[in-house]
Amino acid sequence: MKHKIIAALILLLMLVGQIGTDVYLASLPAIHVALQTSLRQVQYTFSVFLAGFAVSQLCYGPLSDRYGRRPLILWGLMLYSVAGLWCFLSTHIAELLFARVLQGVGAGACTVVARAIMRDVFDGKDLDKINIYQSMVWSMVPISAPLIGSYIQQYLGWRYNFLFLVLISVTLLLACWFKLPETHQTRESVLHIKNILDDYKNILCHQQFIAYLLFCTCIVSLFAIFNVSAPLIIQILFKQSVVVYGWSVLSVAITFTVGSLISRVLTRQLSSKKLMLLGVSIIVLADLAWMLINTRGQSSLYTFLMPFMLIQIGSAFAFPSAAAESMRLYTQKSGKVAAIFGCTLFLGSAISSGIMSRLPVTNLIPFSIMLTVLIVMMVLAYVLILKYAQTVHDSGGNTDDH
């Protein structure tokens, strides 16, 4: 693969948002005590970050098409760093929530513009490869971040998890300053709001793209409700230590890495549609197992984790294939397409995690219901993908840019 330095920076930039959500999760109970606030408000620090992360991407996409990728990346990393420092210094939950929104806005630039750079530089098999590498690297954050965060919480306290985020973002800012070139050479001459809105409307009228978008959003939302619930379920409901939480999440996240490695091999033999079908089948079977075990009063730490491990494997098969197929539908306006893709994924996650935050953690039934609802929606989206693909095939048409 050419452009290895750019590829490495793309992968690291796409992790900024995920690190921002994962590394501090072990500290949720501690923040609840330290800031003398409710568990619900502490969980909202996860949701508001995702909301800022999601909505900001609608702006960054067209701005990157007009002004280039590099300036937006540098701006996003600077905002992320400053907001992370504010989180470190916060003494009230309102301060922390506002700083988390700003941190999410900064992270939004990194993710959506990095995805646009990916589309600028790579195509064909190289685009497939970097999507798989992205999933593999993406899976490393859930493996490492909660465990690192749990030890930081154990020995230094919750504030230092946010300081850790500042150190990462400043390091990446320096790397991009010196090593990231501008990749978008054919910039739009004028930034017209009406044209931007028209482009968004045209993209959102593409039924097959919407089906892929809903499918991917449901998968990412599965991770979101697990992330916001697991610290409280493991530490409060199952009465385990913060370090046990870190190792528990690590064991779940490893399965996504395993699934990504297997997916990389299977892409040589199976089409994207078949990989998606395999992933969906595994996820549905895992949910059935979850419901049979955890809603009959037989729940434990192990029964909570093991079905979700299977869900991770299925997601590793389905998500990269669906993401790559959705990006293939457009060869122009990649900044706007990436903006809509990122915004929808993480706004859906913010809404799902926000709903999950309002539900009690006295047992696993609320989590089980949310899990099943999202999986049913994912299956419906997959059916729509097949339906629209067949319609295009029957008409002899193709999916051109709008």
pTM for the model stands at 0.82
| Overall number of domains in the chain | 1
Q: Which of 77-81, 111-115, 237-241 has the highest mean pLDDT?
A: 77-81
Q: Two tokens at 233? A: 């379920």
pLDDT tens digits, 324-351 = 888 777 766 666 777 788 789 889 999 9
The answer to whether residue 402 is domain-embedded is no
Per-chain mean pLDDT for the chain:
87
Whether the per-residue pLDDT at 187 is higher than 70: the answer is no
What is the C-alpha to C-alpha distance for residues 269 and 88, in angstroms, rounded to an integer? 48
Classify residue 25: in a domain, yes or no: yes
The mean pLDDT value for 199-209 works out to: 84
Structural domain span for residue 37: 4-179+191-395
Residue 184 forms part of a structural domain: no
Domain membership of residue 249 (yes or no) is yes
- pLDDT tier at 320, thresholds 50, 70, 90: confident
Q: Per the domain annotation, does 138 fall within a domain?
A: yes
> Does a structural domain hold residue 338?
yes
The mean per-residue pLDDT over the stretch 17-24 comes to 90
CATH (domain of 130): 1.20.1250.20
pLDDT given for residue 104 in this prediction: 95
Domain membership flag for residue 101: yes
Residue 112 placed within a domain? yes
- The tens digit of pLDDT for each residue in 374-388 reads 999 999 999 998 888
For 55-112, the pLDDT digits (tens) are: 988 888 778 878 888 999 999 999 999 999 999 999 999 999 999 999 999 998 998 8
